[in-house]
Amino acid sequence: MNLKKILKKSNICIDLKSTDKKSVISEMLDIIISNGIVKDPEGALKALYEREEKMSTGMEMGIAIPHARTDAVSELQIAVGISRKGVDFEALDGEPSRIIIMTLSPTARSGPHIQFIAAISNILSDFNKREGLIKAATVEEALKILI
């Protein structure tokens, strides 16, 4: 998957303001709404919350990947957020999540979502890239790390 085609400066927030999981999910959905086509914002938010209730999307190494499949979108939508202080996403390692990658994908298509997660996971497996993202002073700097 070509991340240069998917990730744009407008998809990235290097200073999330929210301090709890639900608020971060809502703040990041606002990024997607402002940059993509979301037919049903309330339905998208409900799908994200429901997915999070089933099992936390907090991973390890300070990463969370809230995601949902929903008919509120017709193609993969993405937002990347950095929380300087970290947010409790009930991560597997108990650490706060500082890098949050949100995806919304249509219910009928899982391929692009899986390809994106594989590509972004490959990047985020690198300690230096994770640290670079957390310390990025500008959106352009963060984007350069991701692509």
H or E stretch covering 107: none
Output DSSP code: residue 72.
T
* Closest to 29 (Cα-Cα) out of 20, 19, 42, 17: 42
What would the 3-class secondary structure string for 83-106 be? EEEEECCCCCCCCCEEEEEEEEEC
Active-site residue flag, 113: no
> Catalytic residue among 31, 58, 67, 120, which?
67
Describe the crossing of helices 21-35 and 41-54 by its angle, rounded to 10 degrees.
Answer: 140
* Alpha-carbon span 104 to 70, nearest angstrom: 7
61: left (phi over 0), alpha (psi -120 to 50) or beta: left
Active site residues: 67
